[in-house]
Amino acid sequence: MTSHEWGRVDSDGTVYVRTADGERSVGQYPEGTPEEALAFYTERYAALAFEVELLEKRINSGVMSPEEAAESVKKVAAQVDGANAVGDLVSLTGRLDALGPVIATQREARKAEKAAKQAEAKAAKEKVVAEAEKIAEGTDWRGGANRLRDLLDQWKKIPRIDRAGDDALWRRFSTARTTYTRRRKAHFAEVNEQREGARAIKERLVKEAEALADSTEWGPTAGRYRDLMKQWKAAGPAPKDVDDALWKRFRGAQDAFFGARDAENAKLDEEFAANAEVKEALLVEAEALLPALEGDGSDLEAAKRAFRDIADRWDAAGKVPRSRMKELEGRIRKVENVIRDLEQEQWRRSDPEKSARADDMVSQLQAAIDKVSADLEKAKASGNGKLVKELEENLTSRQAFLDMAKRASADFS
CB atoms within 10 A of CB 236: 14
Domain ranges of the chain: 2-113, 115-191, 194-268, 271-349, 352-411
Q: Hey, what amino acid is at 376? A: L
d(CA 169, CA 176): 11
Model confidence, pTM? 0.45
If we measure between CA atoms, which residue out of 397, 283, 267 comes closest to residue 334? 283
Q: Is residue 102 within 8 Å of 59, Cβ to Cβ?
A: yes
Cα–Cα distances in angstroms (integers) from residue 251 to residues 85, 104, 213, 218, 232, in the given order: 107, 84, 10, 17, 11
Whether residue 43 has pLDDT greater than 70: yes
Q: Tens digits of per-residue pLDDT, 186-205?
A: 998 988 888 989 999 999 99
Whether residue 412 has pLDDT greater than 60: no
What percent of the chain lies above the pLDDT cut of 90?
Answer: 52
Q: Is residue 28 within 8 Å of 12, Cβ to Cβ?
A: yes
Ramachandran assignment for 9, one of left (phi > 0), alpha (psi -120 to 50 degrees), beta (any other): beta
Q: Tens digits of per-residue pLDDT, 102-135?
A: 999 999 999 999 899 999 999 999 999 999 999 9
pLDDT score, position 269: 78
pLDDT score, position 153: 96
Q: Which long-range contacts (CB under 8 A, 24 or more apart) does 267-274 make?
A: 268/319, 268/321, 269/321, 269/322, 269/323, 270/321, 272/318, 272/319, 272/320, 272/321, 273/320, 273/321
Whether residue 410 has pLDDT greater than 80: no
Q: Give the N- to C-terminal CA distance of the chain in Å, as an integer.
A: 163
pLDDT score, position 1: 41
Give 282's contacts (C-beta < 8 A, 6+ positions apart): 310, 313, 314, 317, 332
DSSP state of 159: P
Whether residue 353 has pLDDT greater than 90: no
Residue 305: half-sphere exposure toward Cβ, Cα within 13 Å: 3
User: Taking the alpha carbons of 309, 313, 319, 325 in that order, is the dihedral positive or negative?
Assistant: negative
Q: Name the average pLDDT for the chain.
A: 87
Beta bridge partners of 16: 8, 25
Instruction: Report the b/e string of 109-145 with b at 16+ CB within 10 A.
Output: eeeeeeeeebeebbebbeebbebbbebbeeeeeeebe
Q: Is residue 332 within 8 Å of 283, Cβ to Cβ?
A: yes
Q: Is residue 149 within 8 Å of 111, Cβ to Cβ?
A: no
Q: Using 50, 70 and 90 to split pLDDT, how confident is the model at 255?
A: very high
CB atoms within 10 A of CB 221: 18
Q: Tens digits of per-residue pLDDT, 82-106?
A: 899 999 999 999 999 999 999 999 9
